[in-house]
Amino acid sequence: MKSRLLVTILVGLLLVTTNILVLANERNDGSYSTIVDEGGNTVYMTGWRVQAGDQVITENNRRYEVVRVDGDTAHAKFIGEVNLSLYYQDADKSVLARLRGLLEPTIARAEGGGKVAIYHTHSDESYVPTDGKESILGAGGIYKVGAKFSESLKSKGINVAFSEAKHDPHDDMAYERSRRTALNLIKKEQPDAVFDLHRDAVPPQVYKGNIDGQDVSKIQLVVGKYGPTGKQIEDYAIQIKAASDKKHPGLVKGIFFAKGGDYNQDLHPRSMLLEVGAHTNDRESAEKGIALFSDVVPTVLGKSSAPTGPNAAGTTGADGNTGLGSAAGGASGATKSMGWIVGLLIVGTAAFLFLSTGSMKEAGAKLKNFASTEFANFLGPKTRKRRKNPSDSEQSEKQDDNK
């Protein structure tokens, strides 16, 4: 009996360990994966361990699925072009945006610029050209990239909760340790979005780019498809790329969808793992890249990029208040929703009165009459007695005869 119990425990531990190894899905052998299409052309490169079933969306929005892996080379089939217009809607073309202009006097802007939480699962990750080596336990150069991200977001009026918790060593249990950090941030700060910042491990040219005249390190989005929220996070990642392509084309080099990954993205509907450059890129270029990415965050959150300072109240960003179409990203707040409902009700009522009367003057008189009589009678006590029905009198006389 005892031996059977021991075997069961050992098998359970083996399964858990294997599951963790699958979830980690990152290479630590110093090599990287090259994904090629049916013609043998390189379409994607990443430092992640690739397996059959993984997918990528390239910088030019072509989607591929890995069908087999031979050593460091992954062979993929082309699935199709990704139509980013399905994930992005211009504010100036939106019906709701046009209505918002009418509602501004009625609805106050709620929730400011939102709140973002930032942490680092791999607290050792560094940039060789700047930091001298690729790994510095507990003090990786990635922290400075996170600090730059935090600073840039704050300059746009976004509140930031930046955790510098350490999760060393860089092993397969790092995500289990960082999970506690992510949970604490979510419970305590209740952020609108959560970002886990990393750097990749590929040759420098993979992430090297020039965006808006700046030499920067590009950014890769990583989605874990293993958990129950995989599809939701997938849509969210494509929304981010859609917003980034519009704001800073070429900044996001692609999206990697790990079939066996999770990466704590089940904890929040707007949780994203970012790879900011590689260990072969200099840290300054990574900081420039993440600063440009911060321009995208207000759009992703559906908020205005509100400036800070004494005159910030009631102002909007230069690009207005833009938002993304899918509900998968999560709710924007009960206060904001109630404001829209009340505002739309007011506009709808005004439009109905104008159309039914033909003039604003008559509509105003009708509204005034409704407020002073009908609405007052509805709230106040009834002043008139109910008129007796003839049948009531007849029934009363019959009752008197029977007495």
For 245-262, the pLDDT digits (tens) are 999 999 999 999 999 888
Are both 327 and 216 inside the same structural domain? yes
Are both 367 and 262 inside the same structural domain? no
Report whether pLDDT(77) > 50: yes
94 SS3 class: coil
Cα separation, 158 vs 305, whole angstroms: 8
Report whether pLDDT(11) > 60: no
Are both 198 and 261 inside the same structural domain? yes
Boundaries of domain holding 341: 333-377
Most confident of 8-17, 114-123, 394-403: 114-123
Q: Enter the tokens of residue 123.
A: 């607290």
Q: Would you say residue 401 lies in a domain?
A: no
Using a pLDDT cut of 70, give the percent of the chain over it: 62
Cα separation, 2 vs 385, whole angstroms: 86
Q: Would you say residue 68 lies in a domain?
A: no
Distances (CA, A) of 68 to 38, 51, 76: 11, 7, 7
Q: Would you say residue 234 lies in a domain?
A: yes
Calculate mean pLDDT across residues 357-363.
Answer: 59
Task: Give the CATH number of the domain where residue 294 resides.
Answer: 3.40.630.40
> What pLDDT does residue 88 have?
74
Q: Which of 27-36, 265-274, 288-297, 312-321 has the weakest average pLDDT?
A: 312-321
Helix (H) or strand (E) holding 245: helix 230-247
Q: Would you say residue 287 lies in a domain?
A: yes
Q: Would you say residue 201 lies in a domain?
A: yes
Q: Would you say residue 55 lies in a domain?
A: no
262: phi > 0 → left, psi -120 to 50 → alpha, else beta; which? alpha
Are both 300 and 260 inside the same structural domain? yes
> What pLDDT does residue 291 have?
98
Are both 155 and 255 inside the same structural domain? yes
The larger pLDDT score, comparing residue 353 to residue 274, is at 274
> What pLDDT does residue 112 have?
58
Are both 319 and 350 inside the same structural domain? no
Calculate mean pLDDT across residues 91-111.
Answer: 41
> What pLDDT does residue 280 have?
97
Give the count of domains, the chain: 2
Average pLDDT, the chain: 77
Q: Would you say residue 252 lies in a domain?
A: yes
Q: How confident is the model at residue 317 (pLDDT cuts 50, 70, 90)?
A: very low
> What pLDDT does residue 156 have?
96
Among 331, 362, 391, the domain-final residue is 331
Are both 176 and 156 inside the same structural domain? yes
Q: CA 167, 171, 174, 177: dihedral to nearest 10 degrees?
A: -80
Are both 253 and 284 inside the same structural domain? yes
Among 300, 331, 362, the domain-final residue is 331
Report whether pLDDT(178) > 70: yes
Cα separation, 226 vs 23, whole angstroms: 8
Are both 229 and 366 inside the same structural domain? no
Cα separation, 224 vs 400, whole angstroms: 83
Are both 273 and 345 inside the same structural domain? no
> What pLDDT does residue 107 have?
34
Find all residues with CB under 8 Å of 147, minimum gap 6, and list them.
162
Q: Would you say residue 20 lies in a domain?
A: no
257 SS3 class: strand
Cis? peptide before 228, omega within 30° of 0? no
Report whether pLDDT(125) > 70: yes
Are both 272 and 157 inside the same structural domain? yes
Cα separation, 273 vs 223, whole angstroms: 7
pTM of the complete model beyond 0.75: no
Determine contact, residues 299/270, Cβ cutoff 8 Å.
Answer: no
Report whether pLDDT(312) > 50: no
Are both 216 and 238 inside the same structural domain? yes
Report whether pLDDT(310) > 60: no
Q: How confident is the model at residue 15 (pLDDT cuts 50, 70, 90)?
A: very low
